Structure 1
Amino acid sequence: MRARLRWVHLILGGALLMPYWLVGTVVVGPLLGSGNMFSNSLAVQFGAYGVALPIAAATALFPLARPVSVAVAKALCGVPAELFAEGPARSRAARLRTSGWFTLHVGIGALISGATLALPPFAVSLIVVPFFPSLRDWLEMPHYPAWQLALFPFAGIAMLIALAACAAAAGALLARQAQVLLGHTPADRLAAAERRATELAERNRLARELHDSVGHALSAVTLQAGAARRVLDSDPDFVREALAAIEETTRRTVGELDSVLGLLRQDDDHTTQLGGPALDTLDGMLARSGVPVSLIADGDLAAVPAPVSREAYRIVQEGLSNALRHAGAPPVSLWIALRGEELEITMENPLPGRAPAVRPGGGRGVRGIAERATLLGGHAQAGPEGALWRLSARLPLAGRR
């Protein structure tokens, strides 16, 4: 089945060369003294063939030639689809490869097509002519001895086998070259790698948003619910405040979650800017974080560019989540300051008396903070310093995004 499809592919190549061949006969015919473009002269026919191939190669330099060639080769060459490059040929190397493939396709296809048209009738005639004397007379064949006529059928069968073998070999050659000439060029691979890197970076960015937003909310809600449960009978006013904080936290988090999920559905746009809370909403988050926080702000935080402000908010949020998760709601000291062209964030909280519980996989909060800072061209680090856990980040105001 595959060999038959490749044979069809070769015949299609011969058909595609026909317009170029007709142009070639117009050029070559007068040069060889033939006034008939359909001359039976082999010199005219092969001369036109030689002129047609460069013209075909030139027309295949157009970018859209590659997707057409790829579509045909996928269907008829039996080559896995993932080995072909997608889209128009943009680079010079890709256009030259496509031109080489098209020229090879139509050039070999024309030869196989011509042989397919001419050889079978001749071979069949050789097979049957020994059995029909009248056919020999009609063909005006010379007299051959009987032993020579007995060889004619074998010669005809050999021609048909040779034609099939040549077609199979030519089809296999085209299939091998399709992977090279219609496959991915270095520029294609680089572009694909850049697209994958962009998509992966966007996925990681959305994952950080979900982790920081939902993780902080769950930590705060867990702490507030636990505290309310312990004083449920003795301090109803505190329970009401805790439930109000839980309600506000979950409402805000649902809104943030809906925003991120909406971006995930936008499959055709991987560069959409994330919205979300920024430093101007920091007071509300600190008041309901479940951690006592002393904030010292130095500078006009409202002047911080929006991308940097959003990332700074998430860094603070993740720092508070870590304090809740690992230290059990200790007092936290937070400094946010504008220093020239940078925003500095420093957060400290006492280390717990016991070793913090370690989640399977080690958690992703500190790593996410470092990634956020790096993507903006800054840096962040976190770790124990004496009896304190210290988080520090420096974010350029002219962030990369």
Structure 2
Amino acid sequence: MPTRSDVWLAAGLVVASAFAALLAGSGPPYRPTDALGLVFAVVAASSLLWRSTAPVSVTAVTGTAVILNAAAGYPPTVVQWPAWIAVFTVFATYGRGLRLAGALLTLAALAGYVVFDRGDVTTSELFSITMCFLISMVAGEATRARRFWAEASQARLMAEERTRLARELHDALGHAVNVMVMQAGVGRRVFADNPEFAQEALGHIETVGRDALGELDRLLRVMHSDDDDTPPDLGELAARVRAAGRDMRLTTAEVDLAPGAARAVHRIIQEAVTNALRHTENGRIDVDLAQVGDTVVLEVANEGRHLPAPTPGRGLVNMRERARLEGGRFEAGPVDGGFLVRATLPARGKP
């Protein structure tokens, strides 16, 4: 079925063509405008009803109308408009093969016009026809390229959104699962000697699990932006780590960060602490957050001996990507007696 825009285009062009044919008239050597001349103009314009659904067929119909109009002795003043619109549509819609077919059909129509036209086709007219042909092709090609660029941009945005969601799930749920595993292990080891502590560990496991489910639900419902999210409390994170049996020192000063950067800082802290819990069994975890001039500096260090050699994984990749997206820098690696994660982000208002 014709699209609504094509219906309006065809209807408007039918009316315009009929009025133009009647008002412009024609003189020798052309045949005066009569009912047959109006039929050619109306048929050519009406074929644009299927401009979007079958542009190559419309090109053939409009080209045929141009040839028959010339053979009948009418001037090409009105009947040529739909033909140029059809050429533009073919080049704006299809690939190389059908564009070539549309160009050949148009060239055949132009050749028929030159052969059957009653007037003398001058060099100036041939130049005008050639320019109309080239302008229709170039405009159609530009429209097609712009549409492909828009589609590619949309696909890229969707891929970035999927990556962002995957990163959020990895950071939030990965941390929760690691804390639950640590607390379960501690509770199992002390269950016989200290049942009260084991009971407390089970309570923490339930709380962390509920929070993880809430985080998952939030991520699935709110995927468009993090700007309105308030970063979770770092004190709560420290309490969970201590409940898992690890010593954690949290030193934070007042910093001036945009909401997105603040959430990125929290996620980097969360992921760095998760890695510390995963790769070491003891030792203190130190988190330092401060602002130096117009730069916010975050350092997460964990003590531990005989750490395994770090291997590239999603955790470090996610942390580095979060810092990069906020205009900051990220570095991580083993240091004397442990492992250090360091991120620097621009404060609010800094370009």
Q: Shorter-normalised TM-score: what interval?
A: 0.5 to 0.7
Q: Secondary structure at the match of 1:288?
A: helix
Q: Which 5+ residue runs of structure 2 have no aligned equivalent?
A: 1-8, 71-97, 107-135
Aligned to 1:295: 250
Partners of 2:64 and 2:286 in 1: CA distance: 78
1:346 maps to which of 289, 299, 305: 299
3-state SS of paired residue (2:178):
helix
In structure 2, which of residues 268, 273, 279 is the aligned counterpart of residue 315 of structure 1? 268
Is the CA contact 1:377–1:399 (under 8 Å) kept in the aligned structure 2?
A: no
Give distance in 2, aligned partners of 1:261 and 1:323. 28
Contact 1:382 1:391 in 2 (8 A): yes
User: Which of 291, 315, 332 matches 1:365?
Assistant: 315
Q: Which residue of 2 aligns with 1:223?
A: 182
> Equivalents in 2 of 1:240, 1:24: separation in Å?
90
Q: Is the 1:14–1:106 Cα contact (8 Å) retained in structure 2?
A: no
Residue among 193, 215, 218 paired with 1:256: 215
1:245 to 197, 201, 204: 204
Deviation for aligned residue 1:306? 2.1
1:311, 1:372 within 8 Å by CA — same for their partners in 2?
yes
Change in Cα spacing, 1:314 to 1:400, as seen in structure 2 (3 Å) is farther
1: CA distance, partners of 2:229 / 2:182: 24
Q: 1:173 aligns with which of 102, 110, 117?
A: 102
Q: What is the correspondence of 1:1-400 to structure 2 with a 5 Å cutoff?
A: 19=15, 21-29=17-25, 31-32=27-28, 37-38=33-34, 45=37, 69-73=51-55, 104=59, 107-111=62-66, 172-173=101-102, 181=140, 185-264=144-223, 271-273=224-226, 276=229, 278=231, 281-289=233-241, 290=244, 291-298=246-253, 300-301=254-255, 303-353=256-306, 355=308, 362-398=312-348
Identity of aligned residues (%): 28
Structure 2 letter corresponding to 1:384 = P
**Structure 1 residue 231, shift from structure 2 partner:** 1.2
Larger radius of gyration: 1
Task: Say if 1:113 and 1:218 are closer, same or farther in 2 by CA, change over 3 A.
Answer: farther
For residues 381 and 325 of structure 1, the distance between their equivalents in structure 2, rounded to whole angstroms, comes to 19
Q: TM-score, length-normalised on structure 2?
A: 0.66
8 Å Cα contact 1:224/1:246 also seen in 2? yes
CA displacement at 1:276 relative to structure 2 = 4.8
Distance change >3 Å, CA 345–CA 31, structure 1 → 2 = same
> SS in structure 1 opposite 2:226?
coil
SS, match of residue 370 in structure 1: helix
The alpha carbon displacement at 1:223 in A equals 0.7
Shift of residue 17, structure 1, vs aligned partner: 7.2
1:383: Cα distance to partner? Answer: 1.1
Contact 1:26 1:37 in 2 (8 A): yes
RMSD of aligned residue pairs (Cα, Å): 4.2
Q: Post-superposition shift, 1:251?
A: 1.7
Counterpart contact for 2:226–2:259, Cα < 8 Å: no
Quick check: 2:247–2:284 contact (8 Å CA) kept in 1? yes
Which sits farther off after the overlay, 383-392 or 194-203? Answer: 194-203
Distance (Å, rounded) in 2 between the aligned partners of 1:170 and 1:282: 61
Query: 1:343: how far off?
Result: 1.6
Q: How far has the Cα of 1:248 moved from its partner?
A: 1.8
**Paired AA for residue 167 in structure 2:** R
CA pair 381-354 structure 1, distance change in 2 beyond 3 A:
closer
Residues 1-29 of structure 1 show CA distances to partners (whole Å, capped at 9, x for unaligned) of xxxxxxxxxxxx99997655533432443
SS for the counterpart of 1:70 is coil
Question: Could you say if the C-alpha distance between residues 399 and 226 of structure 1 is closer, same or farther in structure 2, counting changes exceeding 3 Å?
Answer: farther
Checking the alignment, whether the CA contact within 8 Å between 2:230 and 2:263 is kept in structure 1 is yes
Distance 1:274 1:262, change over 3 A: farther
Partners of 1:14 and 1:109 within 8 A in 2:
no
Aligned with 1:185: secondary structure?
Answer: helix
Going from structure 1 to structure 2, the CA distance change for 1:317 and 1:179 (only over 3 Å counts) comes to: farther
RCO higher in structure (CA 8 A, sep ≥6): 1
**Contact 1:379-1:393 at 8 Å conserved across structures:** yes
Specify the code of the residue in structure 2 equivalent to 1:173. Answer: G
Does the C-alpha gap of structure 1 residues 355 and 296 become closer, same or farther in structure 2, counting only changes over 3 Å?
same
TM-score norm. by structure 1 comes to 0.58
